[in-house]
A and B are shown apart, each in its own frame.
Chain A
């Protein structure tokens, strides 16, 4: 019993990149209120500088695969599957942005091609390596939100 309680935090610490993340709300526990998520997933503000990297990184957000974003013009290729995200902070409040990124289906509709970045229930046959994992960590989601909030026109 005491072994268990000692073991768990150590395990979490080993798996999670930072200590702060140990407090992040789990994907299945995220609370949607009227299709928005009010509270930060980590309980803290995100880091916009890192969010910009997550946005562009092909193995993380890869948001550029589908969205044009003038702020990242040093990146050669911007996709056009979704709308440009220039000025996105003028169109959406933070809780709405959080909902779109956590579970795009709830806000944009079931048919959307946009992935849900902080949800465990994804498509069938998810490759073993990605099973039981969200595309982004709670911290990365908050970082992306912090970054999106800088995109004003």
Chain B
């Protein structure tokens, strides 16, 4: 009797895997993202030996309404932040009496391509650096100004402005050489089950993307749109804020923003999205 049940269950599971397995039947929608007449690709082929056959931007999993905000810079609420950052760029701060613009005379356009390649190796610190580290290095070392907090509005705005310069460019990060141990650490974190609910990032974003988890349409958890404007936050948020939120939801103690763990995870997650276009600043619900 029990034997039969077990067998039934096994075949039930098989049928279930065949029909519902998201890798086989992920259902991002078929919409195309066009911003100001320029198409931004929202899918790409995964790497040969990578975990995902097909990569999809988180945009493909959002509702038409949320998607539409991102398809028009005038409707994208993040562009208020971009405007503020453009003003900030000219503001003199710190003992050196400089503004960003004092040195970066070409304007933020100088930073084209940077966002697509982050995090990157910093030989001076002997660690990978994120956009936040780079901006704060200019503030503390070159302007002699106070660093901005990771999630401060000024920081979010500026990271959005810098990121925007790479919009449409494919994510491509260094994962070998000095970055290799950080990549491995990030990968380990990605697949480690954490929290009282005992789940890894992969349980949701690799095994189940395309499926609804209660009211949320699970995406691949890509980072190509960050910082994103989240309607729920009514503002911009960093990659590490989202990581924290996902960990808290499964009742795990999140790492700190800017921690080595989250930098390693950011690197690894970026590598999972290599080939997707930078969408900064994206809009999410």
Q: Of A3-11, A39-47, A119-127, which stretch is located at the interface?
A: A119-127
A64 within 8 A of partner (CB): yes
Partner of B198, one of A65, A78, A122: A122
Q: Does A128 interact with chain B (Cβ within 8 Å)?
A: yes
Closest chain-B Cβ to A63's Cβ sits at a distance in Å of 10
Known: A64-B214, A125-B253. A96 touches B5 (CB 8 A): yes
Q: Which of A62, A80, A133 has the most CB of B within 10 A?
A: A80
**Which applies to chain A's interface (DSSP): helix, strand, loop or mixed?**
loop
Contact of B213 with A79 in the complex, beta carbons under 8 Å: yes
Chain B residues near A130 (CB, 8 Å)? Answer: 195-196, 251
When distances are taken between beta carbons in the complex, the residues of chain A under 8 Å from B196 are: 115, 122-123, 126-127, 130, 133, 135
CA distance A66 to B198 in the complex (A): 15
Q: What is the chain B residue whose CB lies nearest that of A126?
A: B196
Q: Report A129-153 CB contacts with B as 1/0, cut-off 8 Å.
A: 1100101000000000000000000
* Most A-side CB within 10 Å, residue of B214, B215, B251: B214
Q: Which residues of B contact A129 (CB under 8 A)?
A: 251
Given A83-B16, A113-B204, A113-B208, A124 contacting B193 (CB threshold 8 A) = yes
Any chain B CB within 8 A of the CB of A34?
Answer: yes
Of all chain B residues, which has the CB nearest A92?
Answer: B5
Does B131 sit within 8 A of A, measured CB to CB?
A: no
B252 close to A77 (CB less than 8 A):
no
Indicate the size class of the contact surface on chain B: 20 to 34
A65 to B280, CA, bound (A): 30
Question: Is the CB–CB distance between A81 and B208 below 8 Å?
Answer: yes
**Which residues of chain B come closer than 8 Å to A126, judged between CB atoms?**
194-196, 251-253
Contact partners of B203 in chain A: CB under 8 A:
113
CB nearest neighbor in B for A66: B213
Partner of B194, one of A76, A91, A92, A125: A125
Asked if B252 and A80 sit within 8 Å, CB to CB, the answer is no
Q: Establish whether residues A116 and B212, one from each chain, have CB atoms under 8 Å apart when the complex forms.
A: no
Chain A residues whose CB sits within 8 angstroms of the CB of B2 once the complex forms: 34, 36
In residues 1-56 of chain B, which contact A (Cβ within 8 Å)?
2, 5, 8-9, 12, 16, 20
Cβ contacts under 8 Å, A58 to chain B: 214
Q: Which residues of A contact B211 (CB under 8 A)?
A: 79-81
Would B214 and A79 count as touching, CB distance under 8 A? yes
B102 in contact (CB, < 8 A):
no
Check: B199 CB closer than 8 A to any chain A CB: yes
Tell me whether A123 and B213 are in contact (CB under 8 A).
no
Separation of A1 and B132 alpha carbons in the complex (Å) = 59
Give 25 CB contacts A-B under 8 Å: A58-B214, A77-B212, A77-B215, A79-B214, A81-B208, A83-B16, A91-B5, A91-B12, A93-B5, A113-B208, A115-B198, A115-B199, A122-B193, A123-B197, A123-B199, A124-B194, A125-B247, A125-B253, A126-B195, A126-B252, A127-B195, A127-B253, A129-B251, A130-B196, A130-B251
Interface on B for A, CB 8 Å cutoff? 2, 5, 8-9, 12, 16, 20, 192-199, 203-204, 207-208, 211-215, 218, 247-248, 250-253
Other than A78-B212, A123-B194, A125-B195, give 8 A-B pairs with Cβ distance below 8 A.
Answer: A62-B214, A79-B211, A80-B20, A113-B199, A115-B197, A126-B251, A127-B253, A129-B251
The 8 closest A-B pairs by CB, nearest first: A77-B215, A123-B198, A130-B196, A123-B194, A123-B193, A65-B214, A113-B203, A122-B198
